[in-house]
Structures are given as structure tokens and as C-alpha cells.
Structure 1
Amino acid sequence: MSKRNSNEEKIDEVWLKLIKSYGLARNYEEYQISQAYHKLMGKAITKYTEDLYYKEHRLYVRLTNAVIREELSMGKTKFIEMINKELGEELVLDVVFS
């Protein structure tokens, strides 16, 4: 077995540094959140999702179905826990369903 050099880094760490250096961190976070949302909600909910917007740790979700909007609003805390778990970090601190 070979030893790793002390200056070696994992590819995901290098990738994140690169994204941040080009000022794309926010875009990458939005992409991650969108992917996690679609994975968690599945086709049944995402077909009623008109728009997703992320700003300052708040996720805005515009839905076309009032019943689904109300159900998700009632489970907002659980949704935040689920999406942050899926992301592997606490990016979403609040969610607004409209």
C-alpha cells in the first residue's frame, strides 16, 4: 500500500473549492437542493411544482395544487429535516410553500 501525500485532497473537496473560486457556490447549492427535492417528492408531487427558488437558506416552492400545498405546509419541519439529511448538510433552514 502506498501512503498518501499530505497535499493530496479528495476529489469532492477539490470540486467544492473550484466551484467557490469561480463564484458558483450558490448555483451549485440550488442545483443540489432541486435534485434532492425532486428525489424526495417523486413524480406525484413534482408534477404540481411550478417553481423552486433558494435564497439565504430559505427554499421557496410554488405549487399548483392547493391540497398538496396545505399538506406540505403542515409537515414543513419534517420536510426540512428530510431535505437536509438528503443533502448531507444544513442548507435549508426554512421553506415557504405558495
Structure 2
Amino acid sequence: MAKRLNNQSTVGDVLKRIIEGNKLQPGMDQINVREAWGNLMGNGVNSYTQNVALRNSTLYVELTSSVLREELSLGKSKIIKMINDELGREVITNVVLR
């Protein structure tokens, strides 16, 4: 049976416990990374982005423009830093642009 929480817990604390207890963090990271990509890259890059996926701390991004893919490949370390800063912890260690 589930442990009963005291009335002093905040909603944020309760949600953290639920996420940790049910091992939902990888799914939450996937959603958070997609949102961070959309917010940080802007409309120009997003219009050429087909798919953003996170697997084992590697961000896979499918782009429809080969020119944009080359441009972004020069700044992979900056992309990793920007997204990790946006999320507040190190979630991504590598970026693969397709």
C-alpha cells in the first residue's frame, strides 16, 4: 500500500515523489528536452525540424535542411550546454543531427 504523505508537503514535492517512485523521469526528460529545443532554437530552426528524440542521454534531431544540419553541427557543444542549462541539470551529453 502507498505511503501516506503528511499535510505539510507541497504539490511540487508530491509530484517529485510520484515521478521518482514510478520511474517516470526518462519520459519527463523526453518531454522537457522537446520543449527546450522548441523554445531555444526559435521558429527558423523549428520549421526545419521533423523529430526530436532523447535516448540514453543522446539527443537525436531530424532536420529537413542539409545546410542547417551543417550549421548546427558546428555548435553541438553550445546546443548541449543551452539545453542542459534550460533544464537545470545534465540530461544531454551528445547530439546527433540527421
Q: Same fold (TM over 0.5)?
A: yes
Matched, 1:17 2:17: yes
Matched, 1:82 2:78: no
Query: d(CA) in 2 for partners of 1:59 and 1:13?
Result: 28
Gaps of 5+ in 1: 1-6
RMSD (CA atoms): 1.7
In structure 2, give the amino acid aligned to 1:38. G
Map residues 52-63 of structure 1 onto 2, 5 A cutoff.
Answer: 52-63=52-63
Q: Report the CA distance shift for 1:55/1:48 in structure 2 as closer, same or farther (over 3 A).
A: same
In structure 2, give the amino acid aligned to 1:76. K
Gaps of 5+ in 2: 1-6
Tell me the number of residue pairs that the alignment of Structure 1 and Structure 2 aligns: 93
Single out whichever of 19-28 and 80-89 deviates more from structure 2: 19-28
In structure 1, give the amino acid aligned to 2:14. V
Q: Report the CA distance shift for 1:10/1:88 in structure 2 as closer, same or farther (over 3 A).
A: farther
Percentage of identical aligned residues: 37
Query: d(CA) in 1 for partners of 2:97 and 2:57?
Result: 14
Partner of 1:90: helix, strand, or coil? Answer: coil
Q: What TM-score does the superposition give when structure 1 sets the normalisation length? A: 0.85
In structure 1, give the amino acid aligned to 2:62. R
Deviations 1:17-48 (A, max 9, x none): 21232332211110011110100011111111
Q: Report the CA distance shift for 1:42/1:22 in structure 2 as closer, same or farther (over 3 A).
A: same
